Amino acid sequence: MEGRMTSLEATMKASSTMASSMARNADPDQQTLRSNSVEQFYFPRPGQSLPGIPPFFGPPSSSLYLPNDNEAKFGNQFESNPSQNTDWDPQAIVSNLTFLEQKIKQVKDIVQSMNNRENQVAGGSSELAAKQQLITADLTSIIIQLISTAGSLLPSMKNPLLSSNPAVRQLGNTLGSPMGFGMNANQRPSVDSKTDIPDTGKTSDYDELMNSLNTAQDERDELIKCPNPCGGEGSEPTPMEDHDVKESDDGGEGENLPPGSYVVLQLEKEEILAPHTHFCLICGKGFKRDANLRMHMRGHGDEYKTPAALAKPTKDSGADHAPVTRYSCPFVGCKRNKEHKKFQPLKTILCVKNHYKRSHCDKSYTCSRCNTKKFSVIADLKTHEKHCGRDKWLCSCGTTFSRKDKLFGHVALFQGHTPALPMEDVKVSEASEQPHDSEPMNEMARSMVYSFPSSSSDGISNLDMKMADDVRGYFSPLSFDPCFGALDDFTRPGFDISENPFSFLPSGSCSYGQQNGDS
Amino acid sequence: MAAAAAQQHRHPKRRRLFLSLSPSPSPTPTPVAPPLDTLADELLFLVLDRVAQADPRALKSFALASRACHAAESRHRRVVRPLRPDLLPAALARYPCATRLDLSLCARVPDAALASAVSSCSALRAVDLSRSRGFGAAGVAALAALCPGLADLDLSNGVDLGDAAAAEVGRARGLRRLSLARWKPLTDMGLGCVAVVCTELRELSLKWCLGVSDLGIQLLALKCRKLTSLNLSYTMITKDSFPAIMKLPNLQELTLVGCIGIDDVALDSLDKECSKSLQVLDMSLCQNITDVGVSSIVKSVPNLLELDLSYCCPVTPSMVRSFQKIPKLQTLKLEGCKFMAYALKAIGISCVSLRELSLSKCSGVMDTELSLAVSRLKNLLKLDITCCRNITDVSLAAITSSCTSLISLRMESCSRVSSGALQLIGKHCSHLEELDLTDSDLDDEGLKALARCSKLSSLKIGICLKISDEGLTHIGRSCPKLCDIDLYRCGGLSNDGIIQIAQGCPMLECINLSYCTEITDRSLISLSKCAKLNTLEIRGCPMITSTGLSEIAMGCRLLSKLDIKKCFEINDVGMLYLSQFSHSLRQINLSYCSVTDIGLLSLSSISGLQNMTIVHLAGITPNGLMATLMVCGCLTKVKVHEAFKSKMPAHMIKNVEARGCVFQWIDKPFKVEVEPCDVWKQQSQDVLVR
């Protein structure tokens, strides 16, 4: 009974498909072949259960229709001169994409209707199964269409035409899968291990397609051919949405994890920046650490003092399936964002926090020693502060180095730069010099010229020397500005005095340097 | 230089004199201008140059003649060598045209003195602070700031000076010659300051700058491209910076004494012919070099003229053969090296243009090879075979027959050469100017033969017990140019020989008569006619008295070094004469003399006295010694018996030390008797054999 019904349905379907295909495709032989294969696979489909079909047939066919010249060209390519299809047509792709869009929508509708029906009529499992198959087939065609569309962007090469039933064959392979969702999971491995598949005797055309895609040998033919049978098919919806998400999630080609082997989580910006992540359910107090929360909970009653309540909660739940979790940065466009082409996931929440603060937040922590370095992560500041001021190798231009050989490399490179001694080494004070704090800038410059020669602080004296010698090199704004900041580290009581005029006018020193440089 | 010294040490007195005289001309105005005023400075200076050449003290007399003379002399002087730093400002104020300031007599030059001194004299181009201490970065800063034309700065022995001072040196942009020897605190930073700024440097010494490493030297090689002479002795230079130094385009002289970081790898790392300018290479005491390394560096320095490998590595034939790659080699010093078989012979084959060869203290120098070598080295002018104890008459015969143009032959302690062979020297090498036959078998016949060497200026024949007055008479008669004669422990000599020398050698500057026990005051009286005598050593001549010394003091006004140890008869009278006449005296050894506090105190009026040895003087009391030390402002080194250390007030000692004087406390036993020369020689040879 069922068999007959389905065969009937299939013939009906086949004829309709054939008609539409015939209308579109210039090659009748191919089309027949295809329709035959379609018939093979779609026979169980119950015709009456497809309310979405009538609208489905119209738009897709029209949308898939290429402009006449294109069509003719393609037709020619298929038959006579297939080696010429090296160019891809944006119009064709646009139309393909439009078609895909509509098709996806239709599949979605079907699935939704199926869902509704499922709620109403609990029975009819065979019908359901048939529908699932239909959805599977539609999705497959969508995928093929997608792939071929994308493939047309790759450098084209003429390949022998795929046999007319690739998608259908492939469908046959995937038929065994219970659900439409399963297709995705099954198909992916087949992509990865496509060479293993041909052992079934007949070479799967889909595999061939995949092969050709993978070897960057793409055919325009498929663009046209493959979608056609699929386009003719009725389709079912839901998985598409899921599939889409899944695919982009898997796209993360992180460390050494194969894509898809982990779950990607994306925290919101507020979550990332929240100071506390654990909150007391009773009083609402927030904590940074779960352990601290649990310690806090003890104050709310004896029930929180049990070993079970105090134990680490994560272990047992995580041990079950232990899905590998990776994190995505919420900042769109960031490489750590899952939308990025070369997405690289972040390993832990801490990584997410540090990454987000470092890359997408203001640097609000300033080093109190050097007053120049800024950090957004407080740990970074602390690390820096450990080393800040240790850059004891100082050049007369004010640049500091942590290593002596680096300083000497610098001095060797720049004409006139001399190694400058840290202030501790210079015993003589500069008490004789009284800088004039309130004087204008050029006055300041003059005082600098006059006062430094008799000073014995090496850093300054060298500056002076440089100024006399090669002003441009030394007092470029770039090198001048950090000079005093760096010298600050070595400030001694005797040195303070001469340093004063500059410290109150940090930008002034910079512009002064420019003046000199221009003169 | 000596002229300046002589001039300067009377400076305080002269000033006083001048001040007392200066009011007198003003009340009695002279209507006629002195004739000197009409002379152009150029002519006057020519006259002064001549005068100074004839008698160094003449300039002083000239300056005291009149105001004009004084002024002319002030303008004339170029070199100022003050005795005391406190006189520095006045001295420089008087000599505004001085270009060279030599502070080597000032043991202590405080920063303030240096600053105030150079502030009045900005024409200075050369400053020598190599023997001075007490100044720091501030003084150097003043020097660099106030003397813009400074080109030559010697800051050697600044053991306390470091990077800060080097940074100040780095302000003297025009420096061409700089010595930072023994600046032990100096690091790469200070050297970097100098290297970056003083790009005009031609000569630089970083000897004993232990803190300097490859980084600084590399920077130096990068920045100071005009360097021609570089001394990196005892620095930590390694193969990292050695190629950079060798690639300096103008480097002519490189001294690498005692560089333990230089090894075969470093020497081998150089490109072929990488330093075509290098002419002098001194790698003595580089312990990590072998003959392989020497062979490999030779190909990098094709134009080498002088190579010093003393105490460096064993000399092998292959190494010597590699010297063929440096055909211009003129000087080869292999002091203290061990000679492998056939190596010395190879020198004769490979180094045919050799002018100077030093084999002093080498082991393995044998007759046959030395004979073969010198037979090929026809151009040899200087030969040093000191302490080659294995060579015999055969070698000497070969040397004298083939190297007839020798001007210098040193063969101290070649004890197996017979007196007969030594006669060959005089017979064949008549061009000799310098001859060292100390501790040899020389006799009167040999000396008679040496009489043919009329150019002889330095003759060292100490511990030659066979010579007598007769032999010395030949020398005195035929060597008028002799200026240095060493007769140490020539026990066979007496007054007559010395008198012959004194009469025949008017140029005599230096004579050593130590332990010639027979000589008396007569010798000294005759020597007092040698006006140029500046060094007199009569240690252990017990028959000499104050009379002889007083004659010397009056006759030899340039006397600067005097050793009268164990001249027991010399007493305060001698000292009084010395203090009166020998104002050039710098160094004196008074041990075992009969000098008392009085004589010692009178010596203190010699303001330039720097070095005193006062051990085992019975008549000296702590108070007298202390008084002398306090008065002598220029003392740099005093040797005193340890017993005095506790007897003198500590704060006084500290005071003296603060002026730059170093005390050396001697703790030797009192030993009066002087053994005869032959006994002494026997004893010393016994020591040697053992």
pLDDT in tens, B492-508: 899 999 999 999 999 99
pLDDT digits (tens, 9 = 90+) for A434-466: 333 333 333 333 333 333 333 333 333 333 333
**B chain contacts of residue A391, beta-carbon cutoff 8 Å:** none
Residue A322: its pLDDT value, please?
65
* Cα separation, A46 vs A185, whole angstroms: 27
> Tokens 């002319």 — which residue?
B72
Report the b/e string of B239-274 with b at 16+ CB within 10 A: bebbbbbbbbeebbbbbbbbbebbbbebbebbeeeb
Burial letters for B165-186: b for 16+ Cβ neighbours within 10 Å, e otherwise?
bbbbbbbbeebbbbbbbbbebb
DSSP state of B162: -
* Residue B10, number of CB atoms within 10 A of its CB: 17
Mean pLDDT in residue range A300-312: 80
- Looking at per-residue confidence, does A518 or A418 come out higher? A418
List own/partner pairs for A434-437 with CB under 8 A and 24 or more apart: A434/A497, A435/A497, A435/A498, A435/A500, A435/A501, A436/A501, A437/A500, A437/A501, A437/A504
CB contact under 8 A, A425 and B163: yes
pLDDT score recorded for residue B10: 46
Asked if B413 contacts B439 with a C-beta cutoff of 8 angstroms, the reply is yes
| Residue keyed to tokens 């599949």 | A107
Confidence check: pLDDT of B640 > 90: yes
Residues of chain B with pLDDT > 70: what percent? 94
Partner-chain contact B219 A425, CB within 8 Å: no
- For all residues of chain A together, what is the average pLDDT? 58
The closest CB to that of B141, out of A418, A419, A456, belongs to: A456
Do A419 and B197 make contact, defined as CB atoms within 8 angstroms? no
Interface check A419 vs B, CB under 8 A: yes
Whether residue B190 lies within 8 A of chain A, CB to CB, comes out as yes
Question: Alpha helix locations (H) across A455-505?
Answer: 458-469, 471-474, 477-489, 493-503
CA-based nearest distance A370→chain B, Å: 23
Residues of chain A neighbouring B170 (CB-CB closer than 8 A): 418, 465
Rounded distance, CA A419 to CA A399, Å?
10
B638 DSSP β-pair partners: B612, B663
* pLDDT on residue B36: 67
pLDDT of residue B26: 43
- Does B192 contact A408 at a Cβ distance shorter than 8 Å? yes
**How large is the average pLDDT for residues B152-174?**
91
For tokens 């982009």, the residue is: A248
Q: What share of chain A is helix, strand, coil (3-state, %, to 5)?
A: 60, 5, 30
Pairwise CA distance, residues A34 & A56, whole Å: 19
pLDDT band at A20 (very low <50, low <70, confident <90, very high): very low
User: Which pLDDT belongs to residue A378?
Assistant: 86
Q: Which residues pair with B231 in a beta bridge?
A: B205, B255
B143, B189, B222: best to mutate for the A interface, most A CBs within 10 A: B189
DSSP state, A161?
A: P
Contact B349, B325 (CB under 8 A): no
B232 min Cα distance to partner chain A (Å): 19
What local confidence, expressed as pLDDT, does residue A461 receive? 37
Residue B690 has pLDDT above 50, yes or no: yes
Long-range contacts of residues B249-253, Cβ cutoff 8 Å, at least 24 apart: B249/B225, B249/B277, B250/B225, B250/B226, B250/B277, B251/B227, B251/B275, B251/B277, B251/B278, B252/B228, B252/B277, B252/B278, B252/B279, B252/B280, B253/B228, B253/B229, B253/B278, B253/B279, B253/B280
Contacts of B220 in chain A (CB under 8 A): none
What does each C-alpha distance from B671 to B273, B490, B540, B565, B640 come to in angstroms?
61, 21, 12, 12, 16
How many Cα atoms sit within 13 Å of B197 on the Cβ side?
30
Distance CA B487, CA B529 (A): 19
CB contacts, 8 Å: A461 with chain B: 167, 171
Asked if A411 lies within 8 A of B196 by C-beta distance, the reply is yes
Residue B404 pLDDT class (50, 70, 90 cuts)? very high
**A192-196, B74-78, B136-140, B569-573: which range is least confident on average?**
A192-196
In the predicted structure, residue A12 carries a pLDDT above the cut 90: no
Binary contact (A412, B167; C-beta < 8 A): no
Which positions in chain B touch A420 (Cβ < 8 Å)? 193
Closest CB to A421: pick one of B167, B196, B218: B167
**CB of B128 within 8 Å of any CB in chain A?**
no
According to the model, what pLDDT value does residue B489 have? 92
Residue with the bigger pLDDT between A139 and B582: it is B582
User: Residue A287 pairs with which residues in a beta bridge?
Assistant: A278
Whether B601 contacts chain A with CB within 8 A? no
Q: Is the pLDDT of residue A500 over 90?
A: no
Mean pLDDT of A2-12: 46
SS3 label, residue B687: helix
pLDDT value of position B166 = 93
Task: Give me chain B's average pLDDT, please.
Answer: 89
Cα–Cα separations (whole angstroms), residue A285 to A299, A303, B49, B276, B436? 12, 18, 101, 82, 101
CB contact under 8 A, A412 and B168: no
Tell me what pLDDT residue A315 has: 53
Interface mutation target, options A425, A430, A460, chain B, most CBs of B under 10 Å: A425
The stretch B605-626 carries a mean pLDDT of 91
Residues of chain A with Cβ-Cβ distance to B162 below 8 Å are: 425
pLDDT band at A154, cuts 50/70/90? Answer: low
Four-CA torsion B356, B358, B364, B368, nearest 10 degrees: 30
| Confidence grade of residue B206 (pLDDT, cut at 50, 70, 90) | very high
Q: Tell me if A425 and B162 make a contact (CB, 8 A cut-off).
A: yes
User: What single letter denotes the amino acid at residue A41?
Assistant: F
Better pLDDT: A275 or B285: B285
Q: What is the pLDDT of residue A339?
A: 85
Residue A246 has pLDDT above 80, yes or no: no
Dihedral (CA of A272, A275, A277, A283) sign: negative
Cβ-Cβ pairs closer than 8 A, A with B, add up to: 66
The minimal CB distance from B192 to the residues A411, A427, A428 is found for: A411
Q: Which residues of A touch B145 (CB under 8 A)?
A: 453-454
Place of tokens 């003084």: B139
> What does DSSP say about strands A286-287 and B484-486: parallel, antiparallel, or unpaired?
unpaired
Considering only the beta carbons, identify the residue of A405, A418, A461 that sits closest to B196: A418
Tell me the residue ranges of DSSP E strands in B455-607. Answer: 458-460, 484-486, 510-512, 535-537, 561-563, 587-589
Interface subset of B 14-73, CB within 8 angstroms of A: none
Q: Which chain A residue has its CA at the smallest distance from B223's CA?
A: A412
DSSP string covering B70-116 = HHHHHHH--EE--S-GGGHHHHHHH-TT--EEE-TT-SB--HHHHHH
Tell me how far apart the alpha carbons of residues B8 and B84 are, in angstroms, rounded to a whole number: 10
What residues in A contact B197, CB-CB < 8 Å? Answer: 418, 465
Task: Give the burial class of A178: count Cβ atoms within 10 A of its Cβ; 0-12 exposed, 13-18 middle, 19 or more buried.
Answer: exposed
B241 versus A156: which is more confidently predicted?
B241
Contacts of A215 (CB under 8 A, 6+ apart): none
Q: Is A431 on the interface with B (CB under 8 A)?
A: no
- The reply to whether A289 touches chain B by the CB within 8 Å rule is no
Contact present, B120 and B92 (Cβ < 8 Å)? yes
Residue B282 belongs to what H/E stretch? Answer: strand B280-282
* A484: helix, strand or coil: helix
Structure confidence at residue A286 (pLDDT): 84
0.80 surpassed by pTM = no
B554 touches chain A (CB under 8 A): no
Please give the average per-residue pLDDT across A391-396, as a whole number.
Answer: 81
B165 part of contact set with chain A, CB < 8 Å:
no
Q: Judge whether B244 is closer than 8 Å to chain A, CB to CB.
A: no
Q: Which residues contact A250 (CB under 8 A, 6 or more apart)?
A: A188, A259, A260
Select, from the ranges A286-290, B325-329, B633-637, the one with the highest average predicted confidence (pLDDT): B325-329
Orientation angle between helical segments B41-54 and B58-65, nearest 10 degrees = 140
Please check whether residue B141 touches A, CB under 8 A.
Answer: yes
Average pLDDT over residues B431-457: 93
ipTM over 0.90: no
Rg (CA), chain B: 28
Q: Which of B512, B508, B513 is nearest to B558 (CA)?
A: B508
Contact A454 B145 (CB under 8 A): yes
Encode pLDDT of B68-115 as tens digits. Answer: 888 888 888 888 888 877 778 888 888 888 899 998 888 888 888 888
Contacts of B164 in chain A (CB under 8 A): 421, 425-427, 456, 458
> Are the C-beta atoms of A174 and A136 separated by less than 8 Å?
yes
Mean local confidence (pLDDT), A327-339: 87
Q: Inspect the interface and report whether the beta carbons of B193 and A462 lie closer than 8 Å.
A: yes
CA A503 to chain B, closest CA, distance in angstroms equals: 25
Q: How many CB atoms lie within 10 A of CB B102?
A: 22
Rounded CA-CA distance A408/B218 in Å is 9
- In A, which residues are within 8 Å of B192 by CB distance? 408, 411, 418-419
Q: Which of A36-40, A148-152, A270-274, B355-359 has the lowest mean pLDDT?
A: A36-40
The residue that leads in pLDDT, A461 or B237, is B237
**What is the distance between the alpha carbons of residues B635 and B659, in angstroms, rounded to a whole number?**
8
| Contact check, Cβ <8 Å, B196/A417 | yes
Contacts of A426 in chain B (CB under 8 A): 137, 164
Distance in Å, alpha carbon of A470 to nearest chain B alpha carbon: 12
